[in-house]
């Protein structure tokens, strides 16, 4: 399937700031624990097992599109899949997140991060993308973890509040840090190119924890590597989304990394985000996922406030400011989709 088949969809056109019909909407983690149909097919064991099974992974990818009528699907996978596939030794523990067996500590650990050959290392990802794209009538978004966020898991050994080991490496051994980031950028590029090749119509680079950095740290140690990933994928022509949480202070720098779309969490008003990111880019966001737990009325009011802050700017994709929380009520999310489709405005330019 061609990754350009959906160039006329609302979603892809919004990424490119082209005129389109309705404000497109999808949700980060829309495929996941909040859905009963997900829990029914997910099975026991590591999420990495479910990801390695294209039957299940494609089905899970499609579920939220069927249920919500969202304007895009996102591949069911995980940002640590490439590192896992090259044998780094990482698992995803339910309720915890990625956990690595032996932390990245020294130069010798670089050899644990060889190049990814998607066809032989992650054939299941390619197969899942193919099957999902074949069955979908909306664009599929492929994704990868940005080098910094993946590095944080490998260096800390798991989820971290302060990312202290990662920052210590970043400032304590700059040469090793950049070598590590280079390897992780290579993994992300190889994985994303394979997903686009298999039919993904857009990609998202998740730098979820980039907001833990000061603007100086981000500029010096992180931005160049994310920019390289985005640039490599740019050659495919599919739109690129660049996302992180708590990134208010670095939105301008993230915008400068080159993606067509910058993701914004709920802490920044969209109009303020637009000023920081600058003209020519689209935004994605930014309803507080906690408001979905607060019930239909709160979620609807929140969605309307997001739409109002966007006005009728065509460069806008509605999403949450972070992933769907597991305890979310799917009916509330369905109502949010309805509000966005019914009330979102897109001006013709």
User: What residues are annotated to the active site?
Assistant: 29, 33, 42, 78, 153
Binding status of residue 162 toward a second copy by CB under 8 A = yes
In sequence order, what are the residues at sequence separation of 6 or more whose Cβ sits closer than 8 angstroms to the Cβ of residue 30? 64, 68, 70, 74, 324, 333
In the region spanning residues 252 to 271, those forming contacts with a second copy, defined by CB under 8 A, are: 266-269
State in angstroms the smallest separation of the CB of 228 from a second copy.
24
State in angstroms the smallest separation of the CB of 305 from a second copy.
7
Binding status of residue 176 toward a second copy by CB under 8 A = no
**In terms of DSSP H, where are the helices of the chain?**
10-15, 36-42, 47-51, 54-68, 81-85, 118-121, 123-135, 147-156, 164-172, 174-197, 215-217, 223-234, 251-256, 270-277, 289-293, 296-310, 330-343
Token code pair at residue 231: 């640039």
Closer to a second copy at the Cβ: 106 or 115?
A: 106
Binding status of residue 305 toward a second copy by CB under 8 A = yes
Residue from 295, 308, 312, 349 touching a second copy (CB under 8 A): that is 295
Buried b or exposed e, range 284-303, using 16+ CB within 10 angstroms:
bbbbbbbbbeeebeebbebb
Closer to a second copy at the Cβ: 165 or 341?
A: 165
In the region spanning residues 87 to 146, those forming contacts with a second copy, defined by CB under 8 A, are: none
Cα–Cα distance, 326 to 131 (Å, whole number): 26
Cα–Cα distance, 194 to 17 (Å, whole number): 26
Binding mask 183-222 for a second copy (x = CB under 8 A): ----------------------------x-xxxxx-----
Binding status of residue 164 toward a second copy by CB under 8 A = yes
Residue from 171, 278, 308, 312 touching a second copy (CB under 8 A): that is 171
Cα–Cα distance, 142 to 149 (Å, whole number): 17
Q: Which residues contribute to the site for a second copy (CB under 8 A)?
A: 162-165, 167-168, 170-172, 211, 213-217, 246, 248-249, 266-269, 272, 288-291, 293-295, 298, 301-302, 305, 322, 325, 327
């Amino acid at each position: 399937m061609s990754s350009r088949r959906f160039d006329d969809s609302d979603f892809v056109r919004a990424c490119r700031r082209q005129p389109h019909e309705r404000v497109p909407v999808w949700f980060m983690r829309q495929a996941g624990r909040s859905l009963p149909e997900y829990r029914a097919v997910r099975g026991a064991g590591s999420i990495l097992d479910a990801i390695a099974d294209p039957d299940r992974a494609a089905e899970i990818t499609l579920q939220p599109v069927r249920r919500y009528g969202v304007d895009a699907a996102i591949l069911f996978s995980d940002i640590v899949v490439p590192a896992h596939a090259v044998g780094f030794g990482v698992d995803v523990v339910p309720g915890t997140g990625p956990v690595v067996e032996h932390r990245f500590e020294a130069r010798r650990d670089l050899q644990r991060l060889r190049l990814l050959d998607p066809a032989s290392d992650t054939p299941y990802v390619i197969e899942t993308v193919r099957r999902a794209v074949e069955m979908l009538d909306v664009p599929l978004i492929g994704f990868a973890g940005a080098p910094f966020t993946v590095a944080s898991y490998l260096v800390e050994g798991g989820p971290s509040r302060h990312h202290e080991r990662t920052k210590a490496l970043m400032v304590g051994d700059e040469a090793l840090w950049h070598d590590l980031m280079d390897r992780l950028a290579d993994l992300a590029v190889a994985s994303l190119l394979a997903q686009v090749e298999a039919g993904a119509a857009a990609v998202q680079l998740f730098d979820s924890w980039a907001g833990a950095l000061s603007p100086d740290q981000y500029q010096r140690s992180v931005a160049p590597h994310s920019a390289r990933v985005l640039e490599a994928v740019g050659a495919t022509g599919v739109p690129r989304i660049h996302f992180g949480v708590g990134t208010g202070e670095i939105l301008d720098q993230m915008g400068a990394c080159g993606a067509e779309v910058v993701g914004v969490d709920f802490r920044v008003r969209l109009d303020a985000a637009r000023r920081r990111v600058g003209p020519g880019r689209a935004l994605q966001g930014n309803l507080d996922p906690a408001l979905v737990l607060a019930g239909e009325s709160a979620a609807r009011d929140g969605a309307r406030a997001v739409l109002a802050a966007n006005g009728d700017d065509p460069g806008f994709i509605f999403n949450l400011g972070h992933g769907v929380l597991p305890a979310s009520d799917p009916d509330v999310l369905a109502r949010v989709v309805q509000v966005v489709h019914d009330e979102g405005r897109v001006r013709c330019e």
